Homo-oligomer: A and B are copies of this chain.
């Protein structure tokens, strides 16, 4: 095995001068995707070829980034000892009823053919199917992740990544008599590990507790029946100001419209605009109004425990106990959290008025202790407390894709491309290919009977395939091939019988 400088000057082998010339040509050609993958114009179609509204195809480049994303997320889940499960894409409609509040109207139903006695709906999230799985199989403890598509007939906003079919990626811990806030803290920890591993920028984890919010509402004199409405208004604080002049839209204004008195709204406002850490917890526990409320005190004491874990795990710099966090879903009963990306300078420059700057929230979740119990319809023992976090795959994907240079994304694992400059070499190419396949070396050759060597070489360069095998009749006679480094454009002479061994060394497979 030696570096070939000028072998095979003529004859019917691969002519080195010719190869050099091709190499020169290659240098003068701007890299392009080559013939493969180049779209041609199609004739007019009778059928309308398009995706269902709000859905998209994922091409090879998108899938390559998406798989990297899923692999990194899964690696963290596995480090935490999680199992995975899968549930069907449709559920009996009854299972999904009364779980999503107003958003229930966004659920897709399956058409019920004549004679069928089942009403089916496409899953709206992975949490309710998970609770159904736990309840139905009478599971007492499980720590599982689930990455799968969910369906919402929402108004799509394709450029912002809001689709009708999209991936969710959930991690949940279910079980009774667990140490308070320990699983909850683990969910927050997992969020930091995942986002850090993706290296997509700075973020803040907002923490709050439904019990604290309820306590605030009660302590401020909000009637019980308006708790949920007040909560929904608080949830808007990431988009709207607390108060605004001249009757412009504001959260305070919204609360009053929902029926709260001005006095009550103002009291609530003094709380829900606060954020901090352990100091704020202590201050609120000592607050004469809030400190007397049982629900708030419970929530605050557990928040303090949660923060202790996060302090011990050294992630307090990423965390904010934020009383404005409310979260929309009905089923939360305790701690809630949301991970918000800090907008980049680019995000701030290009932000449109009235929309979130940057991608906003990339993960969120909380504790839902009553959901499994509500499904089995029982109390006490048949209930299974749960806490979990759901990652917004589409937004994480957007951030990960943005980091990448499009031309560097590899959509195949191909390490070797087999080529010949001569005609009628397909059977020889197929034979070499087979040796590589049998050895588990990802390899391809052109499907054309007589491909042009220049095209093949170009294709290797544009596709970032590291190695080429080049041969002609002469090489066959001599029992060798030329092994070409696509990057350096240098070839070396390799005995055909050593080829697999040498490639395995080079590729470390």
Q: Which residues of A contact B (CB under 8 A)?
A: 35-53, 55-60, 63-64, 66-67, 75, 78-92, 94-95, 108-113, 118, 120, 122, 132-133, 135-142, 144, 149, 151, 153, 165, 173, 175, 177-179, 182-183, 185, 189, 193, 308-309, 312-313, 375-379, 381-382, 411-414, 426-427, 430-431, 434, 437, 440-444, 447-449
Once bound together, how far apart are the Cα atoms of A434 and B379, in whole Å?
Answer: 35
Once bound together, how far apart are the Cα atoms of A431 and B45, in whole Å?
Answer: 63
A189 and B437 within 8 A (CB): yes
A45 and B79 within 8 A (CB): no
Give chain B residues whose Cβ lies under 8 Å from the Cβ of A90: 52, 55, 165
Indicate which residue in B37, B56, B83, B94 contacts A47 across the interface (CB closer than 8 Å).
Answer: B94
B179 and A375 within 8 A (CB): no
Give chain B residues whose Cβ lies under 8 Å from the Cβ of A308: 427
Q: Please provide the 9 A-B residue pairs with the shortest distance between their CB atoms, ordered closest to farther.
A: A43-B378, A60-B83, A46-B377, A55-B88, A81-B444, A178-B447, A58-B86, A109-B111, A81-B414
B85 and A57 within 8 A (CB): yes
Task: Name the residue in A42, A46, A94, A118 with the highest tally of chain B Cβ atoms < 10 Å from its Cβ.
Answer: A42
What are 6 A-B pairs at a CB distance below 8 A? A39-B139, A43-B378, A51-B88, A57-B85, A182-B447, A189-B434
Copies in the complex: 2
Say whether, besides A43-B376, A43-B377, A412-B78, A448 and B177 are in contact (CB < 8 Å): yes
Give chain B residues whose Cβ lies under 8 Å from the Cβ of A381: 40, 43
Nearest CB on B from A428, distance (A) = 10
Nearest CB on B from A136, distance (A) = 4
B413 and A40 within 8 A (CB): no
Indicate which residue in B37, B92, B138 contacts A50 across the interface (CB closer than 8 Å).
Answer: B92
Q: Considering the complex, give the chain B residue whose CB is closest to the CB of A55.
A: B88
Give chain B residues whose Cβ lies under 8 Å from the Cβ of A48: 92, 94
Indicate which residue in B37, B59, B377, B430 contacts A312 across the interface (CB closer than 8 Å).
Answer: B430
Say whether, besides A50-B92, A52-B91, A42 and B376 are in contact (CB < 8 Å): yes
Contacts A43-B382, A80-B442 aside, 18 further interface pairs with beta carbons under 8 A come to A35-B140, A38-B140, A42-B376, A43-B376, A43-B381, A45-B377, A49-B375, A49-B376, A52-B88, A63-B85, A79-B440, A79-B442, A80-B444, A81-B413, A89-B122, A110-B122, A111-B112, A312-B434
Give chain B residues whose Cβ lies under 8 Å from the Cβ of A95: 47, 49
Nearest CB on B from A151, distance (A) = 8
A377 and B447 within 8 A (CB): no
Indicate which residue in B63, B132, B144 contacts A86 across the interface (CB closer than 8 Å).
Answer: B63
Q: Considering the complex, give the chain B residue whose CB is closest to the CB of A509.
A: B79
Nearest CB on B from A351, distance (A) = 30
